Amino acid sequence: MLSKLIKYEFKSTRRIFLPALGVLLLLSLVNAIFIALPETALEHVSAPFGIIMTVYVLSMFAVCVLSFAYMINRFYKNLLGDEGYLMFTLPVRPSELIWAKCIASTVWMIVTGIVCMISLFILVMPISMISTVDFDFWQSIQLVFSQMLRNYGAHLFLVPLELIVLGIASVISFCMNIYACLSLGSLANKHRLGFAFVAYLIFGVVQQIVLLITTWVWNLLNIDMTFFNNLNAMAQMHIALLGWLLITVVWIAINFIITNYILSKHLNLQ
């Protein structure tokens, strides 16, 4: 059932995201054409270029806001609003509803990020093509890469992989935290979005307090860290990244449990 829910989630979101991302790519392409123009020609079209560039920057900002706003909107409207009457009477578990929303939103946020990077790449393409260093540029990249491969070996792939996994986990934890806030807000009889915002602030404060206590306890325990300091830089990096990943996963679990508990045991659709 989860796959069906995800299918419908994408079906209902893609009609907004695909055109928006398409427009962004188109705008970066138009801008790239302007940039590729010889300087004398560009002078004549500086006004439209300025406008198109402004529109491009704004639309980049807009797609980022869109992916954030849609993550909230889909959960709030489709689950906690009138559409929830249909979603919560489907023969599916609340946890499946939560994950379908979370997976779709995470994918759209990541896709939005990637498309923004591609659009920037398109934008600077004419500059790199015009410049004379391009041949040397690729060669020097190759050189640096092979040098790094010799120095770091498999770590060269492992560290970026860990960073990517951590990035994805961070997006998931961000979504799940917002869902937990919206669910907590839904327990109130009135001003549900207001209470959701208060819940978000409280989460932030709690996080800070936990951090403070952990640091305090850590200092108190005065653990001998020589074994860690004796490790090489790469091992330290792995431990730090994996530790961070573990904390993120725990944070996802806490927020998921809160959301799932409220939607399973204390659902109160108005």
Partner 1 sequence: MANEPILQCTGLCKSYGNKPALENITFALERGRIVGLLGPNGSGKSTLIKLANGLLTPTAGEIRIAGNLPGIETHAQVSYLPERTYLSDWMTANDLLKFFADFYKDFNLDKAAQMLTHLGIQPNDTLKSMSKGTKEKIQLVVVMSREADLYLLDEPIGGVDPAARDYILSTILTNYSETSTVLISTHLISDIEKVLDDVIFLNKGQITLHKSVDDIRSEYGKSVDALFREVFAC
List residues near partner 1 by CB under 8 A: 1, 4, 8, 12, 15, 78, 82-86, 88-93, 189, 265-269
DSSP 25-46: HHHHHHHHHHHHS-HHHHHHTH
Torsion of the alpha carbons at 42, 45, 46 and 49, rounded to the nearest 10: -100
C-alpha 24/C-alpha 63 separation (Å) is: 8
What are the φ and ψ backbone dihedral angles of 223, each rounded to 5 degrees? Answer: -70, 140
Tokens for 5? 């829910």
* Complex with partner 1: residue 1 or 231, whichever CB lies closer: 1
Q: State in angstroms the smallest separation of the CB of 3 from partner 1.
A: 10
* Complex with partner 1: residue 71 or 171, whichever CB lies closer: 71
* Complex with partner 1: residue 93 or 238, whichever CB lies closer: 93
Number of H helices, E strands in the chain: 10, 0
* Complex with partner 1: residue 79 or 252, whichever CB lies closer: 79
Please count the residues of the chain.
270
C-alpha 103/C-alpha 99 separation (Å) is: 6
* Complex with partner 1: residue 36 or 96, whichever CB lies closer: 96
Q: State in angstroms the smallest separation of the CB of 84 from partner 1.
A: 7
Q: State in angstroms the smallest separation of the CB of 209 from partner 1.
A: 30
Q: State in angstroms the smallest separation of the CB of 98 from partner 1.
A: 14
Q: State in angstroms the smallest separation of the CB of 268 from partner 1.
A: 6
**Could you tell me the sign of the dihedral formed by the alpha carbons of 122, 127, 132, 133, in that order?**
negative
Q: State in angstroms the smallest separation of the CB of 148 from partner 1.
A: 49
* Complex with partner 1: residue 85 or 227, whichever CB lies closer: 85
Q: Which long-range contacts (CB under 8 A, 24 or more apart) does 201-207 make?
A: 203/177
Residue with tokens 């954030």: 68
